[in-house]
Structure 1
Amino acid sequence: MIYGIGTDVCDIRRIGAALARHGPRFAQRVLGPHELAVWQQRSARSPERGLRYLATRFSAKEAFSKAIGLGLHLPMRWRDCEILNLPSGQPSVQLQGALNDWFAARALRAHVTLSDETDYATSFVVVEHNPCNTPP
């Protein structure tokens, strides 16, 4: 059963402006530790690739926060929600801390897709509830 759906469109130029204003601190505030390592590697190879990676993750976290119905209120914190790629390349949601506990207590599962084109990054998240998987 669908618990929630979220979508977000992000202007990559806006993320670039924030990165120019705040430097790496902006990425450190938004990205979790695994995402931050990927962002640093991509940025070292190509600043444009790093920027697009940051924008897609920003967009996906916004969409996820909408899908779970919390917005950016606790236990939803930027760094506790990571959008990582499986070996196949498929993006997946990995949660930590209180957000992971909150999510698991509700027997939720998230599906995410993201894309970027020209000046925009977009993402779509569907969160499912499976009452058969509710923890005891």
Structure 2
Amino acid sequence: MIIGLGSDLCNIERIQASLDRFGARFENRVFTAVEQAKANRRPFTKAGTLAKRFAAKEAFSKAVGTGFKRGVFMKDIGVVNAPSGAPTLALAGGAKARLDAMTPDGHVALVHLTLTDDHPWAQAFVIIEAMPKNEIE
């Protein structure tokens, strides 16, 4: 069953302006080390790479119904790639706690993420699915 749904649209030029104005301070406050490393490997599309990840963080915060309140912080939500290459989220701290709290007993939460960009826009959708533990193998 679907227990959360969120989407976000982020302006890539806004992220570039934050990078230009605040540099590493902005990156370190918002993005995980894994996200920063991936973006740094893409110097010509760094702002777009980070904008998609920013949108994913916003989409997740909407999917769990908190926004960035009640202990859910941007740095606790990290975009990573599954072994298949598909993007997914690595959660820590308050973000993980909120997901755990909203997951029904006897279920496991699966986070589905899709990212796209077409300058000047980056977009992310998050679907949180609760699967019965006995159906997960």
Establish whether TM, by shorter chain, passes 0.5.
yes
The equivalent residue for 2:119 is 118
Whole-Å Cα distance in 2 between the matches of residues 124 and 98 of structure 1? Answer: 20
1:88 and 1:108, CA in 2 relative to 1: closer, same or farther beyond 3 A? Answer: closer
SS of residue paired to 1:70: coil
Q: Pairwise CA RMSD of aligned residues?
A: 1.8
Q: Residue 37 of structure 1: CA displacement?
A: 2.1
Whole-Å Cα distance in 2 between the matches of residues 77 and 68 of structure 1? Answer: 12
CA contact (8 A) 1:31 1:82 kept: yes
Of Structure 1 and Structure 2, the greater helix share is in: 1
Whole-Å Cα distance in 2 between the matches of residues 5 and 101 of structure 1? Answer: 17
- Alignment identity in percent? 40
Whole-Å Cα distance in 1 between the matches of residues 48 and 24 of structure 2? Answer: 14
Deviations 1:80-112 (A, max 9, x none): 110112233210111112422332342422100
What's the TM-score, normalizing by structure 1?
0.85
Whole-Å Cα distance in 1 between the matches of residues 125 and 80 of structure 2? Answer: 15
Whole-Å Cα distance in 2 between the matches of residues 99 and 7 of structure 1? Answer: 16
Q: Which runs of 5+ in 2 are unaligned?
A: none
The equivalent residue for 1:50 is 46
Q: Which runs of 5+ in 1 are unaligned?
A: none
What's the TM-score, normalizing by structure 2?
0.85
Q: Residue 19 of structure 1: CA displacement?
A: 1.0
Tell me whether 1:129 sits opposite 2:125 in the alignment. no
